[in-house]
């Protein structure tokens, strides 16, 4: 008989999130499942750069540190299972390192690796078979940038994760999987839902969406931030789901932050295009159907989710080489700081132009004068300004010359220049984003199992 409730906690909202959060969540959360969500479009580009340098990399290395810290707890909380997309572009290497860590701690666990999202090895075959992978905004076919593509991954859904759980997996490591699907999978597996039970799938999707960004639903990034207690110890979120699709958003006992109607509805609409049609690989969820009810002392109950059949396509996230950029900054102090900063920005550009090394794109920001939100707040004239200049070009050499023009302002620019002691800014390769759609029938998933 399936249990009546399921507790899924998410201890990571992105690669670089608070390192103690997963540990505290397991210690305080009484979880059935811990999810760790590491991937974003930017993350995939970073992973592509890593894999380019070392074929054994391409995964979220922070996960291994987290796993090491979780292992002693896993000895005590034996019912816990972990699902993560930390595998990124290289789930096999990630799983190999994870298996070594489990072995060192004497943990007997089954590790499952979900693959099939990585299209790069099959990209030319897909294009030849008539899948244009056209850019979702411009309509251009991928062939226009194909020689520069460094990664291409579909957003898989919950199905392969459920299959892995069916085979006894304690730790599931995936590549690119839709964020909410990390929560949908344990719900489907626990309650035995049908893949056509659209309303329940939508409920689990909404629950996954609410917790996928970590502390954002428990008080982080909250509009009324002065009301949030003890953000330093903010509790990361727990979705407590019921078999009928109702669920509650909670946080661990004795933790900071708060869960209210307002924190939940802010996160509900975060990064959402059409609230009535939130498209995932598993279901099209209608966020406008749900009803929220407060729970004391910290919690919100969510009911009446509605869903529609999933689409026949996966979304594809691709990255391609798109030149180089460099960004450097200095501080200008004293009277007329803004005018001094503008002069410095213009001096650099004139010197580059004189040397025949002006980059294709050149952007100066005067941080402190209102440039982070131009046109929103009134312009001000403070006594200190951070001048940040960013340049882009297809030629690396032009950016290397640009990087050499900031430090000379110390002695050849106006008075009041400081904040220059970090050295020349590095030149970095740019990986641009290419979104597309692909028929689900063209994607084959694979699951590997290792026992420790």
| Per-residue pLDDT at 379 | 76
Q: What is the mean pLDDT of the chain?
A: 96
Read off the pLDDT of each residue in 25-42 and give the average, rounded to a whole number.
95
pLDDT band at 375 (very low <50, low <70, confident <90, very high): confident
Question: Rounded to an integer, what distance in angstroms lies between the CA atom of residue 113 and that of residue 116?
Answer: 10
pLDDT band at 381 (very low <50, low <70, confident <90, very high): confident
Can you state the percent helix, strand and coil of the chain, rounding each to 5? Answer: 35, 25, 40
Read off the pLDDT of each residue in 225-248 and give the average, rounded to a whole number.
98
Residues 6+ apart with CB under 8 A from 358: 349, 352, 398
Read off the pLDDT of each residue in 246-260 and give the average, rounded to a whole number.
97
- Beta-carbon count within 10 A of 253 CB: 10
35 pLDDT above the threshold of 70: yes
- Packed helices 181-191 and 159-166: angle between N→C axes, nearest 10 degrees: 40
Which residues face 171 on adjacent strands?
82, 111
Tokens of 318: 């691709």
237 pLDDT above the threshold of 70: yes
Helices (H) and strands (E) in the chain, counts: 12, 19
| Residue in 80, 83, 39 with CA at minimum distance from that of residue 171 | 83
1 pLDDT above the threshold of 60: no
Question: Rounded to an integer, what distance in angstroms lies between the CA atom of residue 149 and that of residue 1?
Answer: 49
Burial class (CB in 10 A: 0-12, 13-18, 19+), 37: buried
Question: Rounded to an integer, what distance in angstroms lies between the CA atom of residue 67 and that of residue 86?
Answer: 11
b/e sequence 371-409, b meaning 16+ C-beta within 10 Å? beeeeeeeeeeeebbbbbbbbbbeeeebbebbbebbbeb
Question: Rounded to an integer, what distance in angstroms lies between the CA atom of residue 417 and that of residue 407?
Answer: 10
Question: Domain ranges in the chain?
Answer: 5-117+155-311, 319-434
| Residue in 39, 43, 42, 93 with CA at minimum distance from that of residue 64 | 93
Residues in the chain: 452
Question: Rounded to an integer, what distance in angstroms lies between the CA atom of residue 191 and that of residue 196?
Answer: 14
Question: Rounded to an integer, what distance in angstroms lies between the CA atom of residue 250 and that of residue 246?
Answer: 13
What DSSP string runs through 192-260?
Answer: T--TT-HHHHHHHHHHHHHHTTGGGGGTTT-TTGGG---GGGBPPPEEEEETTS-EEEE--TT-BS---
Tokens of 284: 């099209």
| Per-residue pLDDT at 65 | 97
Report the largest interatomic distance among the alpha carbons of the chain, rounded to a whole angstrom.
77
Residue 410's SS3 state is: helix
Architecture of the 319-434 domain:
2-Layer Sandwich (3.30)
pLDDT band at 2 (very low <50, low <70, confident <90, very high): low
* Pair 109, 171: CB distance under 8 Å: yes
Question: Rounded to an integer, what distance in angstroms lies between the CA atom of residue 226 and that of residue 390?
Answer: 34
376 pLDDT above the threshold of 90: no
Over residues 160-183, the pLDDT tens digits come to: 999 999 999 999 999 999 999 999
| Residue in 405, 402, 419, 411 with CA at minimum distance from that of residue 332 | 419
Over residues 51-64, the pLDDT tens digits come to: 989 999 999 999 99
Pinpoint the alpha helices (H) of 224-358: 261-268, 337-354
Over residues 414-451, the pLDDT tens digits come to: 999 998 777 899 999 999 999 999 999 999 999 999 99
Quote the Cα angle for 299-264-268, to 5°. 145
Residue 29's SS3 state is: helix
């Amino acid at each position: 008989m399936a249990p009546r409730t399921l507790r899924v906690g998410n201890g990571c909202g992105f690669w670089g999130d608070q390192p103690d959060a997963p540990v505290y969540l397991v210690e305080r959360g009484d979880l059935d499942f811990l999810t760790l969500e590491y991937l974003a479009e930017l993350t995939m580009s970073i992973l592509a750069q890593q894999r380019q340098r070392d074929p054994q990399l391409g995964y979220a290395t922070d996960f291994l540190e987290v796993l090491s810290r979780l292992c002693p707890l896993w000895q005590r909380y034996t019912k816990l299972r972990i699902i993560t997309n930390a595998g990124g572009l290289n789930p096999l290497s990630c799983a190999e390192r994870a298996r070594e860590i489990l072995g060192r701690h004497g943990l007997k666990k089954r590790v499952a690796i979900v693959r099939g999202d990585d299209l790069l090895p099959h990209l030319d075959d897909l294009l030849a078979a008539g899948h244009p992978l056209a850019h979702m905004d411009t309509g251009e076919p991928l062939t226009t940038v194909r020689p520069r593509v460094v990664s291409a991954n579909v957003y898989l859904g919950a199905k392969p994760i459920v299959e892995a759980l069916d085979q006894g997996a304690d730790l599931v490591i995936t590549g690119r999987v839709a964020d909410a699907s990390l929560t949908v999978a344990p719900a489907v597996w626990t309650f035995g839902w049908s893949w056509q039970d659209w309303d329940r799938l939508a409920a689990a999707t909404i629950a996954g969406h609410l917790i996928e960004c970590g502390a954002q639903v428990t008080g982080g990034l909250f509009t009324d931030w002065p009301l949030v207690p003890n953000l330093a110890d903010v509790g990361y979120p727990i979705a407590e789901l019921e078999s009928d699709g109702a669920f509650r958003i909670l946080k661990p006992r004795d933790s900071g932050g708060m869960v209210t109607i307002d924190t939940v509805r802010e996160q509900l609409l975060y990064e959402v295009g059409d609230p009535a049609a939130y498209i995932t690989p598993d279901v099209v969820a209608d966020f406008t159907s749900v009803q929220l009810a407060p729970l004391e002392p910290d919690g919100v109950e969510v009911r009446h989710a509605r869903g529609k059949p999933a689409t026949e396509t996966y979304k594809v996230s691709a990255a391609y080489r798109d030149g180089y950029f460099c960004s450097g900054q200095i501080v200008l102090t004293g009277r007329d700081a803004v005018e001094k900063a503008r002069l410095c920005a213009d001096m650099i550009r004139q010197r580059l132009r004189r040397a025949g090394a002006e980059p294709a794109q050149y952007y100066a920001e005067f941080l402190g004068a209102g440039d982070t939100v131009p046109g929103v707040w009134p312009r001000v004239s403070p006594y200190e300004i951070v001048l940040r200049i960013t340049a882009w070009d297809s030629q690396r050499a032009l950016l290397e010359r640009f990087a050499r023009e900031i430090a000379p302002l110390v002695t050849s620019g106006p008075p009041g220049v400081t904040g220059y002691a970090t050295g020349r800014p590095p030149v970095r390769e740019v990986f641009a984003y290419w979104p597309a759609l692909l028929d689900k029938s063209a994607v084959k998933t694979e699951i590997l199992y290792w026992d420790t």
